[in-house]
Amino acid sequence: MACARFPLLLGLVGASLALVGASLAQPEERGIIPIFPLLPPITCYHTEMLYLGRKLNSEPELWISSLQHSRLCETWEVCQETLLMLETGPQSLILGSKGCTPAGNRLSGVTEHLGPAGIIITSYIHFCNINYCNNLTSTDPVLRPKARLVTGDPDNALHCPTCLALYSCPKKVRLRRCSEKAVRCYNGTIQIKGEGTSYDLGLLGCSTVPSCELFLGMKTIGPFTLSEKCLDHHSDFWPRRQGAARPSWAWTLGLGLLLTL
């Protein structure tokens, strides 16, 4: 009889080990469990948009999202909506992003990263944790008052080529007089990456940053990743004195989509 019970005992032990193994494997199947308290998952609008043109900094553009462009977030995520505006002269670019983002101690609001003279970079970021709460309908948060006319002695002012174009700027662009706060002309290419999108831009304009690196180490704004390549590291500051020769600008950039000046 003892021999008859031995296989039964082994069977019970094997079944117990199988149950333990299954219970230990359950967390792996569920994925990584966040360390913060779990909340019911929310649904957020999920989309990106781009505007490129004139007067974008003074007149709002529509940004309508539909339920077709939405996504159920993870339990540790909240909704976000971000606007990023880049300006040089009369030309502007606005990028928008809506989607899910990890929750955390984040502040909502408008930030002017560079400006207000010369090339200007402004962003608006909003976080919320209710279904479809990232429902901004226009670019109004990054608008600014109409720019004042540049004053000062035109013969003693810095003049820079001004261009904002997809891919690159053409060889011939219009010179524009800079404000007194500008210290050099910027010439570079900018890359902005979103979620599944990437934009390459040619950028020329007046800069208030003494170095050629326009972003000064800034790598991200909200969900957007920024990178730049300065094409004019050796440009000297243009002296502001009577009779100073204007710099000659000769770049061999490929043809791109130039905005109408």
Low-confidence ranges of the chain (pLDDT < 50): 1-36, 234, 236-261
Q: What does the pLDDT read at residue 152? A: 53
Q: What does the pLDDT read at residue 83? A: 97
Length of the chain: 261
Q: What does the pLDDT read at residue 126? A: 96
Q: What does the pLDDT read at residue 16? A: 44
Q: What is the pLDDT of residues 119-131, one digit of tens each?
A: 999 999 999 999 9
Whole-structure pTM value:
0.72
User: In angstroms, how far is the first alpha carbon of the chain from the final one?
Assistant: 99
Q: What does the pLDDT read at residue 153? A: 58
Residue 62 half-sphere exposure toward CB, CA atoms < 13 A: 3
Q: What does the pLDDT read at residue 140? A: 95
Closest CA to 165 of 205, 222, 109: 205
Residue 185 half-sphere exposure toward CB, CA atoms < 13 A: 26
Neighbours of 162 (CB within 10 A): 26
Q: What is the pLDDT of residues 51-92, one digit of tens each?
A: 999 889 888 999 989 899 999 999 999 999 999 999 998 899
